[in-house]
Amino acid sequence: MHEKNESTGRDRRFDRFARLVDYDGIMKLRKSHVMVAGLGGVGSWCAEALVRSGVGTVTLVDFDKVSTNNFNRQMPALETTLGVPKAQALFERLKLINNHCKIRVKLEQVNRFDIDRLFDVPCDFVVDAIDQLGNKTALISYCIRRDIGIVTSAGAGGRLDPTRIRVIDLSNTIDDSLARMVRIYLRKRHLFPKKGRFYVPCVVSEEPYTLPFEPAYPPDAEDLTPERFAQIDPPGKDKRNIVMGTASFVTSCFGMTCASVAVRSLLGVKIDGVKRKPKGWKLPPEPKLVPHEGGLFSADD
């Protein structure tokens, strides 16, 4: 019986994409490994787009489970997946899209003190879709210092207009509190330049964000949430002072844009708005990060 050759074979499921990138492009993507860190409203859609683009290996990194407040924006959120780890729910779905794709699942949080453990196999590109500042900036710094391609997502919350999404250098973002704090962390704790480019593509919205408010439901408004949800996912777990409003048609477009940057970078296509790191440009040796009771500090802080 003739064995299928997955390395050079033709898969009609991806013929429409091959018409954009040709055979050589499909082969490059099939041999590529992309890691998606954070599988929320941005990362989950990005992961699916990568698999639908024929990327050969995709690593999914997330420690969280599908919860009730994920349904308005996260791809794996279904009544049947409530309480299931997001990475596992995505794995089951993505294998039904492309069973030739090697999907690696890491049910863990990105740990700024042990980034190496994520890279137990060589990786070509990383999509940073996490929002915890210390871990986010440590991952960005790790990739830049090792010449691993990366795209980072700024804040997708508080926006309604996906046409305002842009890709620019992380050093140039404006009106985005997450990107601003990422810059501060990178400069102070990872010795990124105080002026000039970071050479990190960032997906950001130019739309001013809207601060959240409590919905004015009538006092007698009926709770339409399925009763069994409360047993699996009790209400009141989120203790944050500010919980931004989100829209699926914005977070998903952030994820799709991240996937586009990843695919174009792997194919060697220039990303408009982001300059490539020039030869000879490098960061100073990174100071050791040490745990501290009050937060994260470098050894020199």
- Encoding tokens for residue 92? 């089951």
Q: What angle do CA 98, 57, 153 make, to 5 degrees?
A: 100
Task: Give the residue from 137, 52, 66, 129 showing the smallest Cα distance to 95.
Answer: 52
Task: Give the residue from 269, 200, 264, 272 showing the smallest Cα distance to 49.
Answer: 264
Q: What is the pLDDT of residues 69-93, one digit of tens each?
A: 888 999 999 999 999 999 999 999 9
Q: What angle do CA 277, 280, 286 make, to 5 degrees?
A: 85
**Are 14 and 54 a contacting pair, CB within 8 Å?**
yes
Cα dist. 119→87, 211, 261 in Å? Answer: 17, 37, 21
- Encoding tokens for residue 115? 């980034």
Q: Which residues, in sequence order, are CB contacts of 259 under 8 Å at separation 6+? A: 45, 46, 49, 50, 53, 127
pLDDT value at position 1? 45
Q: What is the pLDDT of residues 235-279, one digit of tens each?
A: 766 666 678 899 999 999 999 999 999 999 999 999 998 998 898
268 CA to centre of own chain: 20
**Are 185 and 139 a contacting pair, CB within 8 Å?**
no
pLDDT value at position 2? 46
Q: What is the pLDDT of residues 209-241, one digit of tens each?
A: 888 888 888 988 888 888 888 888 887 666 666
Cβ count near 160 (within 10 Å): 14
pLDDT value at position 150? 98
- Letter for the amino acid at 213? F
190 CA to centre of own chain: 20
Q: Give the DSSP letter of residue 275.
A: P
pLDDT value at position 284? 92
DSSP characters over 34-87? EEEE--STTHHHHHHHHHHTT-SEEEEE---B--GGGTTT-TT--TTTTTSBHH
Higher pLDDT, 291 or 125: 125
pTM over 0.75: yes
Domain annotation for the chain: domains and CATH numbers? 20-214+228-276+283-298 (3.40.50.720)
Give the Cα separation of 263 and 257 in Å (integer): 10
